[in-house]
Amino acid sequence: MAPYFISSSDFERLIQVWSNARPVYAPVVKAGQRHWVQLSPEKAFSPELDGIRAVEPVKSFYFRIREIVATYPGDTSFVDDEPSFVLLGAKNCDLRSLDCLDRTFAGSEPRDPFWVSRREKALVIGADCSDPAPTCFCTLLDMNPYPEACYDLAVAQVSGGLVVEVGTPKGEDALKVEGITVSDATDEQVAERDHNRQATREAVALQNREFETRRPFIQLVAEGFESPAWNKYVGRCREDAACLAICPTCHCFVLYDQRAGDSNERIRVWDFCYWRSYTRCGGGHTARATGNDRFKNKYVKKFEFYPAKFDMIACTGCGRCIEACLAKIDMRQVLHDLEESRSD
């Protein structure tokens, strides 16, 4: 489908219409960082669609940090009573994470009803990046800093407005608002968008030149499990799991039950493989008893297990893990060192 064009003023009015009907979340700069914020329908909003992704990954809108998944005794069936919502300005690294987690939570039976319901209800508007952070490395994974899939609409800022790509019928319907003019984008507008995209991609590629490897990351992890390169990072890792909590694709969880008056609640909370207790089972046995095994597991899961099971890497190059790590461990450097440690 050919791209559309919408003026900046009409797009702001369109956001206002959406926010009157359902919650709309968009990245807003606070203290120098972008954070997802629910927009107020009472206030005009000029979207901050350029720049980079928000601090928080979009997975938290679908896969909650903590939530009640059942109450018993009684009917424990899933109750689909949540409203729809709009995510405005999701970057490609987060859009790719939705594709990744769709395969985990909805790709086969049993499907996670919470994930499926929220994915079906949400309207996702992707947006181009224009100012990559030093930690961004999507190009090392053969990705681009602009929406490629998993969006209902994708927008890119150009002179006077936005070039809009439609990804789904849901996105097409969202543009059909009385008083809002949407026209076919001109060749000049598309050319401006493409020029901006190429400039941003070159900027991301340039800042990651020193981390490029001759072998793909999948091969480096698969063949480098016993590499001595891991050792200098294992001792530094504090196992606080900040990198996993902020990762857009990590999705481990644990279930526990608790009393709630005369009934019981089953609660799901995020869990992390860097925690010593993660694999502990009856009798105190721990499958990954050493810090070395736990540190490697993140890389094995993302670059070996996930590609083998789902035919895609469970990393999107967002760089959040690099920013969150108190020990200043850079995933790009770890992978680069795996290659450098090989003698052949």
Q: Tell me, yes or no, whether 153 and 233 share the same domain.
A: no
Residue 27: cis peptide before it, omega within 30 degrees of 0: no
Q: Tell me, yes or no, whether 36 and 105 share the same domain.
A: yes
- Round the CA-based radius of gyration of the chain to a whole number and report it: 22
> What CA–CA distance (Å, rounded) separates 79 from 194?
44
One pLDDT digit (tens) per residue for the chain, 344 residues: 899 999 999 999 999 999 999 999 999 998 889 999 999 888 877 778 888 999 999 999 999 999 999 999 988 888 888 999 999 999 999 999 999 999 999 999 999 999 999 999 999 999 999 989 999 999 999 999 999 999 999 999 999 999 999 999 999 999 999 999 999 999 999 999 999 999 999 999 999 999 999 999 999 999 999 999 999 899 899 889 999 999 999 999 999 999 999 999 999 999 998 877 776 777 776 767 676 788 999 999 999 999 999 999 999 999 999 999 999 999 999 999 999 987 55
- Which residues are registered as beta bridge partners of 263? 260
- Return the pLDDT at 273: 85
Beta carbons of 36 and 54 less than 8 angstroms apart = yes
Return the C-alpha torsion angle 95, 96, 101, 106, nearest 10.
80
Q: Tell me, yes or no, whether 149 and 234 share the same domain.
A: no
Beta carbons of 24 and 86 less than 8 angstroms apart = yes
Q: What's at 88, amino acid-wise? A: L
Q: Tell me, yes or no, whether 107 and 190 share the same domain.
A: yes
Q: Tell me, yes or no, whether 204 and 232 share the same domain.
A: no
Domain boundary among 186, 209, 232: 209
CA atoms within 13 A on the CB side of 203: 17
Annotate 116-170 with DSSP letters as a single string: HHHHHH-EEEEE---S--TT--GGGGT--SS--SS-SEEEEEETTEEEEEE-SHH
Q: Tell me, yes or no, whether 268 and 182 share the same domain.
A: no
Among candidates 9, 40, 14, 10, which has minimal Cα distance to 25?
40
Q: Tell me, yes or no, whether 177 and 240 share the same domain.
A: no
- Return the pLDDT at 285: 66
Domain boundary among 209, 243, 268: 209
Domain boundary among 174, 193, 209: 209
Structure pTM? 0.93
Phi-psi region of 24 (alpha: psi -120 to 50; beta: other; left: phi over 0): beta
- Return the pLDDT at 105: 97
- Return the pLDDT at 283: 75
Q: Tell me, yes or no, whether 78 and 178 share the same domain.
A: yes
Return the C-alpha torsion angle 180, 183, 188, 192, nearest 10.
50
Encoded tokens for 158 = 């150009």
Q: Tell me, yes or no, whether 290 and 190 share the same domain.
A: no
Q: Tell me, yes or no, whether 199 and 59 share the same domain.
A: yes
Domain count of the fold of the chain: 2
Q: Tell me, yes or no, whether 254 and 174 share the same domain.
A: no
For 275, the domain range is 217-340
* Neighbour count for residue 152 (Cβ, 10 Å): 21
Q: Tell me, yes or no, whether 185 and 326 share the same domain.
A: no
Beta carbons of 27 and 34 less than 8 angstroms apart = yes
> What CA–CA distance (Å, rounded) separates 110 from 98?
18
